[in-house]
Structure 1
Amino acid sequence: MELDGTVAQLVLARWGDHRPGLRFEDLVLSHHQVAAGAAARAALLRELLDARREPHIGILLDNTPEYPLWLSAAALAGAAVAGINPTRRGAELARDIRHTDCQVLLTERVHLPLLTGLDLPGVRVLVTDSAAYAELLAPYEGAEPSVSATVSPASRMLLYFTSGSTGAPKAAVCSQRRLAAAGRSLVTHFDVRPDDVHYICMPMFHGNAVIADWAPALAAGAGTALRRRFSASGFLDDVRDFGATYFTYVGRAVQYILDTPARDDDRAHPLRVGFGTEAGAVDARRFEERFGVRLVEGYGSSEGGAAIQRTAGTPDGAIGRAAPGDDLAVLDPGTGAECAAAAFGPGGRLLNGDAAIGELVNRGRSPFEGYWRNAAADAERVRGDGWYWTGDLFYRDADGYFYFAGRADDRLRVDSENLAAAVIEAILARWEPVVGVAVYAVPDPVAGDQVMAALALRDGVDFDPVGFAEFLLAQGDLGTKMAPRFVRVVERLPVTATNKVARGVLRGEGFRCADDGEVWWRPRGGGAYRVFAEADVAGVVGEFRERGREGLLG
């Protein structure tokens, strides 16, 4: 049996290691106890799984110790884990469980109501905080770790859903080989040591927490500390209590932490690095200034098809360069031609976004392992030439550094000029009153799009239309088409379960006034922002009606 390069091998390595390995609230388990718990669950799993069906289990849990224990058990038993999102409901939730062919579903009492009335034929539900579960597991307690004969580096390990903006979520496949390799790579990149403690506060049903946080801790023999659900107010106390040295983040988590009241002891903690995506350069700088912790913005497509490494000398605003040996390019999605190198003007303004922004494509060997039972989605990612199309917008400078410009569906076209939402967001995030910003397209009554921005402001701060306009004028890298025509002021941006901004919700609501905030606008030819009143709404709707485009308003 070939175990080199498997997650199972990493689990076995922790047997006999009596250092603290897993912390959760007041519970502390040694690495040995974690391996023993995984061994017991793997033995139970072998009894539960029907060999005639796919060896898949679903996990519908918060970040409790059962989650990493069952991940480790699945690795030993040669099973694949489907992370089930507890924010899904009804038919969509049932679809996720059925689509990934789960034989067993692990859940807890708090989530049982989500399963009421769902059609889940052939799925055995185990409630991990029940007496029945304890009785079921009891005969296997004390088992030593053993690896099923079917386990190999190619064995499926994860089926994790990508957070696409349209259609049903796709379940990306991740093998034991890829997960173990990702863990080892991050150990090297961040110099993870056995005495480190990885704080897992992002949801473990998402690839970020498992691939970028749990896997490197397992590979290095470092400890892990779990937070049931992310809490900005509890973040720093957890870091201190657990002795955490490393954490990962996605979406707006960093903004939420920065929005907590500053304290005199904000730098009194052992944390040394955070790794994630979408914090943005402004918030990363604020985080380091306040907490003394370096945030490393990385890029790796959820499916594993392409990755960019940040190295010393990476310019501000850039993600990094392609890893050695990788052939990454920015291509025009329409023609397949390589986009022009980015040209910058004073203040770092991108001068040729229309020619430079395109889709990031891996033209070399890709570790993408496909989607579960979704050939159409596979074909969209890997095209006839074997290249992997990420679905993400980037531009690249003359020195080969890549800059993230948003998802492909976050592109705006204003007056025949292509713009990227992420570029505008990075500029608007500099405005001191802002704690959260999302830029998205709303339709133009004539053609193309108009720029709209949703702003979440600091507590107790009202939107200052004059101050905001003056701020925009002072930004040397804000192109003439980038300034928002509409500004929606909200208490908090709508987010997905993984703290990513739900731009689909914002786009769907458009520029109309909403109950949870107010909308301001700058009429054509007018330099000042003013409230978008009912009379203004009627006037804009009239423009769309006159041109036969009213249907675009939804």
Structure 2
Amino acid sequence: MYIVTVTLATLVIIPVLLKIFFPYFWEDVVYLKDLVRILLTFVSRRKRRPLFLAVDRFIEQSALHPNRTFVLFENKSYSYQDADRESNKIANALRAYSRLQAGEAAALFMGNEPTFMFTWLALAKLGCPVAFLNHNIRSKSLLHCFSCCDAKVLIAAVELEDALKEIQPALKEKGVCVFIMTKECSISEFTSFTDKVEFASDSPISRSHRSQITFKSPAVYIYTSGTTGLPKAATVSQTRLLAALAVLASNGVTAGDVIYLNLPMYHTAGFLIGFIGSIETGATIVLRRKFSASQFWDECRKYNITVIQYIGEVLRYLCNTPKKENDQLHKVRLAIGNGLRAEIWREFLNRFGNIQVREFYASTEGNVGFVNYIGKIGAIGRVNPFHKKFFPYALIKYDTEGDEPVRNSKGLCIEASKGETGLLVSKITDIAPFVGYANNQQQTEKKKLRNVFKKGDLYFNSGDLLRIDWENFIYFQDRVGDTFRWKGENVATTEVSDIVTMIDFVEEANVYGVQVPGHEGRIGMAAVTITKGKALDSKKMFSHVASYLPAYAQPRFIRIQNSVEVTGTFKQMKKTLVEEGFNPTLITDPLFFLDDKEKSYIPMTKDIYKAVVSGNSKL
């Protein structure tokens, strides 16, 4: 009897003690179980012969569930079998009308549509890496991005034909074969492709086309803006793509779920999580050309959406829509994404109901990631010893003024204390490699940090400042360097500066991001000096930035200065400019505001400033 009493008491006491001293014990155990399962699945697939790639998982799913709906788009439905056959037709058309060989890159210049998916599947079946070109970029940036990956073929949507016409002479010089998704091309130098696909065979593509591919081979190139220069092509290897299959499955997504994909597929979130993640689970994708806050919930109800993706701005836009009685009438159970501010997180849950939010941290080229599996509002992840054993990382002390890690007398980095902000670095290993950027060894090396904790070690420099609290939750703090983020896009200040200084009346341009109350990230601002003997032409300035830069990268505010302040090593100083922002009562320099209606930069007034900071002026 005594033993039974003690046993029962122990069974009662242990859960109580765990709740008091280890409140997240069971959640940690479940996460650990999922992590082990993912690693075992990944390892078993790595051992399969012939090589098992992400595209093979799609082929597997289409064989197992041919009639299951794969993608819904503008009231059209495509089954897994439809997608398989369509991708076979595209692949066979490419074999017949191009000289593209396995291992040679192709570029895809297309918005969100099923053809984007089918074309990637086709190229993956042929063993060709694919560069995803942002369909918003033009001219110099477009040509630069295309040139990064040494592509032999460029496949584009018909609505982007004019954008390619601008760079056609350079493409011709490179001997690039340009296919336009249309039955009839208006530009003689380009080749129509839809007609060729229509008459191509849908017979399966032999696995032999992928026989020379290894796990280290590039699978896709996704462009990311760095702190300097034009966008860089981050190389996503076949190993990384294989690992990406687990993203949605590890967050509880199953074949019965319906995923709402309205983020651009040329980005990591849209492609790796929304598309590749859905392939693993066998779920259905509802694809949208672009995000619409006003139609979001109506479409969720229409298509019985159960899983949504977000970047921080997306949920803020939803919270800013007019409230409706049916705000909580939907089937959405999971929201997965990153960049969500704590106050928006709370507001989103209060308004739209009991939705599980899975905030995560990752970067396109990075070799470590975190997920907030607890659901702690504001956190991007949680420290887990098992996770850290396989993917060693640390937060190190960072000198933001000197823009470099703090080192001790031995020249080694110093780990940040609990509660202290530090630079995230992660060890480069076989399991957690850092591939780098295509044809950009200089930028690849800049992301490597040597002699971190001992002489000769090698870490990936994330460029992100994080903080770990006493409960082991991880929080994002800031980014180092010059890149700022607006509308969910990273903007390299030097790229914008290069574009602005192309104007004949601009002598110098110092571009930076400034905060706007109620908005995630920072919006673009440029402090410029005017060329001697010339004056600011507001309409010309507007026309120029609108032609060369996507909307999210256009400087919304212009500040005219007599000279650009630099450091002793001739680096442009931004700190004071960022702190002063765009308030006309604090700044004596002339200020201008980008007005889309006037198609010009207009003088910044106190009324405009009030409208912006109050949220009455839409940015």
TM-score past 0.5 threshold: yes
Q: Distance in 2 between matches of 1:453 and 1:319?
A: 25
**Residue by residue, what CA displacement relative to the aligned partner does 1:365-411 show, whole Å, maximum 9, x if unpaired?**
32322211111122112233221111111122344432111211379
Shift of 1:21: 1.0
Is the contact between residue 199 and residue 246 of structure 1 (CA under 8 Å) also seen in structure 2?
Answer: yes
Q: Distance in 2 between matches of 1:207 and 1:498?
A: 21
Is the contact between residue 250 and residue 498 of structure 1 (CA under 8 Å) also seen in structure 2?
Answer: no
In the alignment, structure 1 residue 158 sits paired with structure 2 residue 212? no
Is the contact between residue 104 and residue 123 of structure 1 (CA under 8 Å) also seen in structure 2?
Answer: yes
Q: Distance in 1 between matches of 2:583 and 2:233?
A: 43
User: 1:14 is matched with which residue: 53, 61, 69?
Assistant: 61
Gaps of 5+ in 1: 344-355, 412-420, 426-434, 442-449, 458-493, 513-520, 541-554
Is the contact between residue 103 and residue 127 of structure 2 (CA under 8 Å) also seen in structure 1?
Answer: no
Q: Secondary structure at the match of 2:49?
A: coil
**Residue by residue, what CA displacement relative to the aligned partner does 1:154-198 show, whole Å, maximum 9, x if unpaired?**
33211010133431111111122211211224312x111112122
Give the 3 Å change call, closer, same or farther, for CA 146–195 of structure 1 in structure 2.
farther
Shift of 1:222: 1.0
Shift of 1:15: 2.7
Number of residue pairs aligned between Structure 1 and Structure 2: 445
Q: Indicate the residue corresponding to 2:92 in structure 1.
A: 43
Normalization by structure 2: what TM-score? 0.65
Is the contact between residue 300 and residue 330 of structure 2 (CA under 8 Å) also seen in structure 1?
Answer: yes
User: 1:361 is matched with which residue: 417, 425, 431?
Assistant: 425
Kindly provide the amino acid, as one letter, of the partner of residue 301 in structure 1. Answer: S
Gaps of 5+ in 2: 1-47, 185-191, 398-404, 451-456, 494-511, 520-544, 563-576, 592-619
Q: Indicate the residue corresponding to 1:246 in structure 2.
A: 307
In the alignment, structure 1 residue 383 sits paired with structure 2 residue 430? no
User: 2:584 is matched with which residue: 523, 527, 532?
Assistant: 532
**Residue by residue, what CA displacement relative to the aligned partner does 1:67-91 show, whole Å, maximum 9, x if unpaired?**
1111211221111111101221111
Give the 3 Å change call, closer, same or farther, for CA 309–269 of structure 1 in structure 2.
same
Shift of 1:234: 1.8
In the alignment, structure 1 residue 175 sits paired with structure 2 residue 220? no
User: 1:281 is matched with which residue: 314, 321, 342?
Assistant: 342
Q: Distance in 1 between matches of 2:582 and 2:82?
A: 62
Normalization by structure 1: what TM-score? 0.72
Q: Distance in 1 between matches of 2:465 and 2:327?
A: 36
Q: Indicate the residue corresponding to 1:472 in structure 2.
A: none
Give the 3 Å change call, closer, same or farther, for CA 221–451 of structure 1 in structure 2.
closer
Q: Distance in 2 between matches of 1:236 and 1:256?
A: 12
Q: Indicate the residue corresponding to 1:374 in structure 2.
A: 440
Q: Distance in 2 between matches of 1:185 and 1:453?
A: 32
Q: Indicate the residue corresponding to 1:109 in structure 2.
A: 158
The structure that is helix-richer by fraction is 2
Q: Indicate the residue corresponding to 2:369 in structure 1.
A: 307
User: 2:202 is matched with which residue: 142, 156, 165?
Assistant: 142
Shift of 1:538: 5.9
Kindly provide the amino acid, as one letter, of the partner of residue 405 in structure 1. Answer: Q
Is the contact between residue 102 and residue 127 of structure 2 (CA under 8 Å) also seen in structure 1?
Answer: no
Q: Equivalent residues in 2 for 1:433-512 (5 A)?
A: 453-456=515-518, 505=555, 509=559
Q: Distance in 2 between matches of 1:499 and 1:199?
A: 24
In the alignment, structure 1 residue 128 sits paired with structure 2 residue 181? yes
User: 1:206 is matched with which residue: 267, 282, 286?
Assistant: 267
Q: Distance in 1 between matches of 2:204 and 2:458?
A: 44
Is the contact between residue 8 and residue 75 of structure 1 (CA under 8 Å) also seen in structure 2?
Answer: yes
Q: Distance in 1 between matches of 2:448 and 2:67?
A: 45
Kindly provide the amino acid, as one letter, of the partner of residue 478 in structure 2. Answer: G
Q: Indicate the residue corresponding to 2:23 in structure 1.
A: none
**Residue by residue, what CA displacement relative to the aligned partner does 1:474-532 show, whole Å, maximum 9, x if unpaired?**
xxxxxxxxxxxxxxxxxxxx99x999975x947975999xxxxxxxx9x99xxxx9973
Q: Distance in 2 between matches of 1:501 and 1:339?
A: 36
- Percent same amino acid at aligned positions? 24
Q: Equivalent residues in 2 for 1:48-59 (5 A)?
A: 48-50=97-99, 55-59=104-108
Kindly provide the amino acid, as one letter, of the partner of residue 445 in structure 2. Answer: A
In the alignment, structure 1 residue 331 sits paired with structure 2 residue 435? no
Q: Secondary structure at the match of 2:318?
A: helix
Kindly provide the amino acid, as one letter, of the partner of residue 137 in structure 1. Answer: V
Q: Indicate the residue corresponding to 1:480 in structure 2.
A: none
Is the contact between residue 200 and residue 224 of structure 1 (CA under 8 Å) also seen in structure 2?
Answer: yes
For structure 1, which segment, 60-69 or 136-145, has the greater mean C-alpha deviation from structure 2 after superposition? Answer: 136-145
Kindly provide the amino acid, as one letter, of the partner of residue 105 in structure 2. Answer: H
For structure 1, which segment, 94-103 or 203-212, has the greater mean C-alpha deviation from structure 2 after superposition? Answer: 94-103
Shift of 1:127: 1.8
Kindly provide the amino acid, as one letter, of the partner of residue 105 in structure 1. Answer: L
Q: Indicate the residue corresponding to 1:73 in structure 2.
A: 122
User: 1:235 is matched with which residue: 265, 283, 296?
Assistant: 296
Q: Distance in 1 between matches of 2:260 and 2:371?
A: 22
Shift of 1:31: 0.8
Is the contact between residue 396 and residue 425 of structure 2 (CA under 8 Å) also seen in structure 1?
Answer: yes
Shift of 1:3: 4.6
Q: Distance in 1 between matches of 2:213 and 2:303?
A: 34
Q: Secondary structure at the match of 1:95?
A: helix
Give the 3 Å change call, closer, same or farther, for CA 29–530 of structure 1 in structure 2.
closer
Q: Indicate the residue corresponding to 2:540 in structure 1.
A: none
**Residue by residue, what CA displacement relative to the aligned partner does 1:421-451 show, whole Å, maximum 9, x if unpaired?**
99xx9xxxxxxxxx99x9xx9xxxxxxxx99
Q: Secondary structure at the match of 1:210?
A: helix
Q: Distance in 2 between matches of 1:453 and 1:180?
A: 38
Q: Distance in 2 between matches of 1:274 and 1:12?
A: 27
User: 1:409 is matched with which residue: 471, 476, 481?
Assistant: 481
Q: Distance in 1 between matches of 2:166 and 2:590?
A: 47
In the alignment, structure 1 residue 395 sits paired with structure 2 residue 467? yes
Q: Secondary structure at the match of 1:70?
A: helix
Q: Distance in 2 between matches of 1:237 and 1:133?
A: 35
